[in-house]
Each structure stands twice: as C-alpha cells, then as structure tokens.
Chains A and B, each alone.
Chain A
Amino acid sequence: MNISEARNLLKSKSISPVELVEECEKNWKNQEHDLNAVITPMFERAKEIAKKTVFDESKPLSCIPYAVKDNICIKGEKLTCGSRILGEYRSLFESTATWRLANAGAIAVCKTNMDEFAMGSSGEYSAFGPTHNPLDKELVPGGSSSGSSAAVAAGYSIFSLGSDTGGSVRQPAAFCGLSAIRPTYGTVSRYGLVAFTSSIDQIGPMAKNSFDSLTVLKAMRGLDEKDSTSVAWSPVELPEKPVIGIPKELLELDIDPEIMAMLQECKKRLEGIGARFIEVSIPNLKHSVATYQLITPSECSANLSRFDGVRYGLQVEDPELGNQYKKTRSDGFGAEVKRRILIGTYALSEGFYDAYYLQACKMRAKIAAELYSALSKVDVILTPTAPTTAFEIGSIQDPLKMHACDLLTIPQGLAGIPAVTFPFGKDSKGRPIGMQLSGPAFSDDSLAMLAGKIEEAR
C-alpha cells in the first residue's frame, strides 16, 4: 500500500486510522521473527494516537504510519543507533523531521534496526543483529538504513525515514525495490539526527514510489533555526525533456554487468519520454570511496566522543577514569565503528592531518567541482544506485569490499547535491535493481518527478 492508496481508503472510511496501524502491526508480528527490522516497536503508542485522530485531507500524511531509523530522536523513546553504547537512553527531545511529519499527520509506528551509527552498507553491523531482506530472507536489505527499507518492503509502515551519508537510504531502497531521496544538503534539518558525518548527513525518505518519497520530503524539509547548516528551500526546475549524462568513468568501475545492461534499458526508457543523452566525465569518481573513508571517519571520531559513559548510556565502571573510558567504549562500540574512529583519529593527528584529512578535503572539493561542472552541461546524471544487487548475509567479510558498495552513492553526499533512487527491473536472480538520478542542488522535486514518471511508464 502506498500513500495515495492509504489516503483513498482513509478518505472513503474503508479503513480507520487505528485499523491502518493495526494492519502494519500485523505485518510486523508476522514477519519480524525473520526480518529483525525493528529495535523499538511503537505500535501501542501509534494506536493511541490513531484513536484520537480523524483523517484530515488537508494534511499530506494524515494518519499515515511510518518507520523511523533509530538514529533519529523521538521524544521519550529509546534511541540506540544500533549500538550497545546508548544502553537504555531515551531521547529528551524530538527531531525537527519527525516533529514536522507529526504536524503533517504521520504516525510513527516503530524505530528501525540499522548499521551501528549508520556505518555500514548491509545492515549486518548492528548490535541488535542483522536485518533480513523481506524479498529474500537470505539476503541483506542494504544499509545502513536496513530496518527502514525492510519495514516498508514488509508493510510494517507505508514509508520510512532513513539517514543518508554515503548512500544509506538509496542503497537499501535499491536492494528492497523501493524509492528513496537523498535531499539537497541542508534542506532537511539534522536537529535530532545523531551525527555520523555532520557535513554530509541528511535525513531522507524511503517509500514504495518516488511520488510518495517526494510527499514525505516536502512535509519535513525547510529552514530550521536549530540547525545552523539548514537552508531555506528554493526550487530548481529542470526542463520537461532533460538532457541527461552518464559518466563515462562508470566503465572503469567494478559494476555488475547485469546492472550496466539495465542502465542501457533505463536510458532507452528515458529517451522514450523525451530525454536526450550526452556523455559526461567525472574523472575522480574512482577516488570517491577513499575520500569518503577519510572524511567520514574523521568527523565521526569527534561526533562519537560524547559516548563516554559519563552521563548516559553504557558505563563500564573502573576506579580510573581513563580505564573507564576505554572499557566503556571497547564494550559499547562494534568493530566497524571502532575501525572508523581509529582511522579518523589517525587522519586528524598531528603530522598526518595534511597527508590524510586535508588531502581528502581537497579531493572532496575536486569531485564536487567535477559534478557541478558535469551538471552545468546536463540537467541530470544517470547511474545505477549500487554496483551490485542485494547480496547474501555474511558474504562480504572484507571491510574494503563493503565500503565499495557505496561507490555510486558517495559523490552526491560529498557535493551536497540531491539524488533519487528508484526501482528499475531485476537481475537474473530476481533481485531488484535501483537506478539513480542526481541533479544540481534544489532539483530534488524535479528528480523525484522524473523518477516517478519512469516508474509510471513501467
């Protein structure tokens, strides 16, 4: 069920708000044992809210149940970030995004499983165990917003919120056959999103189709004085029949041939609705992952310093303060988080800062400049969303291989530009393939509308 279907049922009173939540709850009860997509169920609370709520057509998300990635604060609810370190911590305040969604009528039904602190591309790096892909339980649902994609795919909710740094809403959406938007940096407030990489993180919607994603995005974005990196929305309209570029460097990258073949199909489909294609070049595309794997660990090494066991969350006691820090953080964080904190700490250290962090910042600026330059020649860039389709749980053990999953979703974050992923066909094993449209800052709506058009043309 998508948002407009749910609205029709609610409007015609074929279903009550409570029944809609109960429907979601039923799906959760039936499948959660297999999927492990939820950390904190909120169905009881959701039903209480639904009971008191009458469908209001003027609100774009009235009575629509949704799932929230567990790194986004909901006042009074547990906030784990998929980690042990937060223990029983409950947020004392509400994120701007969920607050705005509540104003638009949406009802949160669960907080979802995720790779710890949003670091991961498969949903396997959670202290609460891996999430399984609802389309095939043997497969990962993608990450880091693993539970949020699984929840929508399994019908726990009609849409969900994830957070996207290196592709954490787009790649899991692609793996689960969903749509998702990484918004222009600053358009959705980060207030109440637990920071991983502050200069890149954005909350993004995940849904059955791109029109739904856009409806959610519109309801939650906007200037927020609580986030100093927040910007006011000022739309960039792309032409009806856009000029689209496919970076020629895709050929140099390790991308599944079936996906590359599907890219050509997608190109044809777009040409069918009037798009014109020219070649573009992003020469440093291949350095995206390395750049990202220095910038994000550096920022997260500081962002995660607050989890020290002094004020809240896990505390492993020791009479000596330094030991208490070490024990708490050793027990509290998982391997991937520790790896990134160590890399980031190293990259920022005296004597290594110039060689690593600063160099990465320079490369980030270069890649961003190449993207802007390409987007001055074309309206939209088309790429696959991920180099592979969903893979088997446990099949990727090498962290570098895991990092490479984000190859095609990293550059937009580095440049702060929006991207939309939408489902486009399946591979020979029947696993969904996602295609991705990237555009200039503030072209989010145009990109989503274009993606929606392709989805409809299917």
Chain B
Amino acid sequence: MSDLVIGIEVHVQLLSATKMFCGCKNSFGDEPNTNVCPVCLGLPGALPVVNEKATQMGLQLALALNCKINEVAPYYRKNYFYPDLPKGYQITQYATPLGQKGFLEFPFGKGKKRVDITRIHLEEDAGKMFHSGDITKSSSSLVDYNRCGAPLAEIVTEPCIETPEEAQAYLFALRNLVRFIGISTGNMEEGALRCDVNVSVKNPDGSFGTKVEVKNLNSFRSARRALEFEAKRQRDLIAQGGQVTAETRHFIESTGETAGMRSKEELNDYRYFPEPDLPPMVTNTSQIEKIRQEMPKTPGQIAEKFEKEYGLSQYDAGVLTQDKETTAFFEECVKNGASPKKTCSFLTVEIQGYFAKEGLSLGQTKLTPKLLSELVKLVDSGQITNQSAKTIIPDVVAGSSSEKVAKERNLIVIEDESAIIELVKQVIENNPKQVEQYKQGKTALSGFFIGQVLKASCGKAQAETVKRLVEEALSRL
C-alpha cells in the first residue's frame, strides 16, 4: 500500500467548431484577437448563448467516463479579476455538474487500474496572457482573447491514485479516451489538455494528510516528476517533524521542483452564484440514449471487442488501443483479411520494435494497412515463414510490396517436401558427431538438426514441416 494520496483535475478543450457561449471560431494558433466578438470579449450589453454541440461533447465525455448524468445542471458565475477574463467572472457549472460518480478503467502494468471520477462539468476558457520576460518583473503584458470562451470540460478524480506512475497512466488513458471519442485533440502542448494535481501523504493511522495542489504541469512527464518531488518533499518534511502546509505550488520545469506561491493568491473567494443569463443545462433520458448510441467507441470498449472477437489477450488488446492510429491501422489490416493475432504480433512487436530502433512512428513512414496485411496474409497462408517475414519488415515499412520482395529474395516457402528431405539428408551427413551423440540417446539434439535445416533453407522451409521430416529421418537412423 502506498502512503500517497493523489487526485487529479484535468481541463479538456472541446473540439466544437465554435466557442462555448458565442459563434466565434474555436481554433488554436490563429492571429491574436481575430476570433473574438462582443460576447466573448464581455462587451457591455452582450449575452451568452450556450453552444449545444459543446454540451453534447461534454455529455459524451461524461458517458465515456461512466458518469451519472444530472438531468438539470445549472451554470454559475465564478468571480475573480484577471485581464484574461473579460467579464470578471467565468461561466461554469458548480453545485450540480453535468456528470458525477463515474470511473475510468485503463491498462496499467500487467493488469488494469480503475480511477474513480468525482465530477465532470462544462465551463468557458479564459484568454491567454503573454508577459514580456519574467512575470514578476515584466512591465507590460499582452492578452490574446482567441481562446477566451472556448469550451472546456473539467474532470475531477477521487483521491484514489496511489503513485506518480498511476497518475501518468491515468492522464495518458484520459487523453486517449478524448481522442477516441473525438471531442478533443488532447494536445497538451496546445493547452487542449491541462492538469493540476493534488497530493498528500497519509498519516501513520491511514487518515489523509494535508493536501498540496500543484499547478503549471505542461506534460505527463511534468505531472509525474512534480508528484515524485512532492512525495519526497512531504515525506521528508514529516520525517523531520514538520507539517505540510495546505497550499498551491508551482512546478518548475527546469529544476523538477515545486515552489509555493504567494499566500495572497490563495485567498480567493469566488463568490459562486447561479448565472442569471442562462437557463440550466437540461438533459433527458432519450437524449442520453441517443448520444450513447451515436458515440464513437471508447478504447476500453474496443479492447473488449478485440479480446472477445479476436481472442487477443487483455495485454495485447490494451497495447492495440493505446492510440487511435494503431487501433485504426490494426482494424484496417483485419478488415483486409489478415489474421488478428498475427497482425497484432507484427504490429505491436516487430513493427513497433523496428520503429523504436529507427526512431520512427506510424504515419511517418510509407507503411499502410494494405502493405502490412499483405505481409501477414503471406505468413497466414504459409507462403513465407515468420522468419522470412521479419527480414522484410524494413522493406514493407519503406513502402514495398512484401510479395514482390519475397519473390525477389527467393523467400517463398519450399513446398516441395523432397527438396526439404534433401536438405535433411545433407545436414545429417554434414554433422556425424551430433548424429553419433543422438544415437547414444541425446535426443534433445533433434532441435539442433531442425535449426540447421531451417538455416540451410534460408528460412524458406516451414518449421513444422522441417520438424516432422527431421524427426522421421532421425527415427530411421
């Protein structure tokens, strides 16, 4: 049992075409302050109007996270002053969020981990500040309101995560989920997925210690490093007889450490109250059913299908659903007639291994599902051996037809048994010492003969055929 207690808050930017409460384009990387209007700039007299598409996406995510949907989820105003927040309040959901009490299950280590979700709610994003130089010394800042009013879903977990590794795996799984159901790019570097973590060390009696919030986490790795640092800092502090202060700390990327913020910033009273400009978000059972049916499958659902329909192991199914591209690639190969198990093994072991070695990734090469399924089918039909197939992976990745390469390199399996019998004969003749030992009862040497024959065949003989013929020949000695 770990002594760490971790909870995570994630903000996911939804991929709706327009912003949460106005018709402005919701896009990343445009010329500053070009996707703005009276509503998202909070000009006097402007009023918000809810983007139904964004609420649908929020519902999809809530359902994908197995949440209970609240049929009435009111919007609130969260009040604070900051130049990136033009109205001086953020419209968000509060007391009754759109979804509650869900969970996310994902592959972790050799098994699975389940993280309980406390709540998911919708809100609008703020603009983006650009400080010239150090934030504490900068004399001026620029604000870009393109992001202001972009739709966000905030997902809060229960304090049920026990290690930094689990935390990282959860973030990975959540990003994967939003990408699979198509509601967000999940790109952390674009700010489409942002996270804050809460961490505490348990007291000796098992009760929760004082929690610390860590912000400014720009990558999954930062999240893990920040948690590792905090765990050590808090454990050391307690060991020295000190006490952990409830506070918000910033992660400093360059040093891998966390630092406390000025206490002034923590004394925020957001004065939430119901947003009088908007009716509550109302969802009924039939809407929920419709969304559930029309929603793309989650990685978990797809993995389950792979296990059931293709007989893949839980582990393999997990690996195949670790990103959308791999899943789609795999499914396309299977659709082309390649056997699922072989495809899985080529894709997740051979190809990934080659990619890792060469520093490549799917989509960066000329490898297509068509090319891989051609290769797998050659193996499936016994036209080339597994062994040969492995040798032509670099060619297939470079965009060559495996059948063509196999023929050019003369890798097509020797179907004529007499040719193999001839090879067996040669191997027995060329290894009299081993033959003698075999005769004296060292039968384990049959493997040696099989290997020699396979080698002599240049990988063109099927191992099973070779095994049968070698054993026949040995039995006649």
Contact = CB atoms under 8 A, between A and B. Distances in A.
A429 interface: no
Contacts of A229: 276-279
B47 interface: yes
Contact of B49 (A92, A194, A228, A306): A228
Given A228-B47, A228-B49, A325-B81, A311 B277 contact: no
A321 B50 contact: no
A194 B88 CA distance: 15
Contacts of B77: 302
A288 interface: no
Dominant SS among interface residues on chain A: loop
A306 B88 contact: yes
Given A199-B276, A225-B49, A81 B271 contact: no
B19 to A, nearest CB: 14
Interface stretch (A6-14, A48-56, A344-352): A344-352
B338 to A, nearest CB: 52
Nearest to B83: A310
16 contacts: A71-B45, A79-B44, A190-B47, A198-B277, A226-B49, A227-B47, A228-B48, A228-B50, A228-B277, A301-B79, A302-B273, A306-B88, A310-B83, A345-B271, A349-B269, A349-B271
B451 interface: no
Contacts of B79: 301-302, 305, 348
Interface string B48-79: 11100000000000000000000000000101
A235 B76 CA distance: 31
A457 to B, nearest CB: 40
B269 A92 contact: no
Nearest to A309: B83
B44 A81 contact: yes
B87 interface: yes
B328 interface: no
Given A91-B43, A226-B49, A228-B50, 6 more contacts: A228-B49, A228-B279, A302-B271, A308-B83, A310-B83, A312-B43
A193 B276 contact: no
Given A81-B44, A191-B47, A306-B88, A92 B38 contact: yes
A36 to B, nearest CB: 23
Contacts of A227: 47, 49
Interface in B241-290: 269, 271-273, 276-279
A181 to B, nearest CB: 21
A194 B47 CA distance: 10
Contacts of B273: 298-299, 302, 348, 353, 357
A209 interface: no
Dominant SS among interface residues on chain B: loop
A194 B44 CA distance: 5
B139 interface: yes
B41 interface: yes
Contacts, number: 100
Contacts of B45: 71-73, 79, 91, 93, 95, 191-195
Interface string A193-209: 11101110000000000
B382 interface: no
A198 B276 contact: yes
Chain B CB within 10 Å — which of A73, A192, A306, A325 has the most?
Answer: A306
Interface string B128-145: 000000000001000100
A304 B139 CA distance: 27
Q: Which 6 A-B pairs have the closest CB atoms?
A: A305-B88, A199-B276, A198-B276, A348-B271, A194-B44, A192-B45
B108 interface: no
A92 B49 CA distance: 18
Nearest to A224: B47
Interface string A213-253: 00000000000011111000000000000000000000000
Contacts of A399: none
Contact of A311 (B86, B271, B276): B86
B337 interface: no
Given A229-B277, A305-B81, A321-B83, A191 B269 contact: no
A430 interface: no
B46 A93 contact: yes
A286 to B, nearest CB: 25
Contacts of A226: 47, 49
B42 interface: yes
Contacts of A306: 42-44, 86-88
Contact of A350 (B44, B269, B276): B269
Contacts of A73: 44-45
Nearest to B82: A321
B89 interface: yes
Nearest to B140: A319
A304 B42 CA distance: 11
Interface in B112-158: 139, 143
Chain A CB within 10 Å — which of B45, B49, B81, B143 has the most?
Answer: B45
Contact of B46 (A86, A191, A301, A345): A191
A361 B442 CA distance: 93
B282 to A, nearest CB: 12
Nearest to A358: B273
Contact of A302 (B41, B89, B143): B89
A91 B273 CA distance: 28
A325 B80 CA distance: 12
Interface in A345-392: 345, 348-350, 353, 357
Nearest to B38: A93
Contacts of B139: 319
A306 B48 CA distance: 14
A92 B43 contact: yes
Contacts of A79: 44-45
A299 B276 contact: yes
Nearest to A192: B45
A327 to B, nearest CB: 13
B278 A228 contact: yes
B271 A308 contact: no
Interface string A61-97: 0000000000111000001010000100101110100
Contacts of A307: 44
A194 B277 CA distance: 12
A381 B269 CA distance: 42
A193 B46 CA distance: 8
